[in-house]
Structure 1
Amino acid sequence: MFGLLRCSEHAGPVQQHLFQRQDWPAMGNYGEVFERNVGQGSPLKLERGVNQQWLKGGLMYSPPFL
Structure 2
Amino acid sequence: MQKNGNAIIHKYTLNGYHIVLDTNSGAVHLFGEAPFAMLDYLDGTVPEEPPEAMRTGLKGRFSEATLREA
Class of the TM-score when normalised by the shorter of the 2 chains? under 0.3
Higher relative contact order (CA 8 A, sep 6+): 2
When normalised by structure 2's length, the TM-score is 0.25
When normalised by structure 1's length, the TM-score is 0.26
Select the structure that is richer in strand.
2
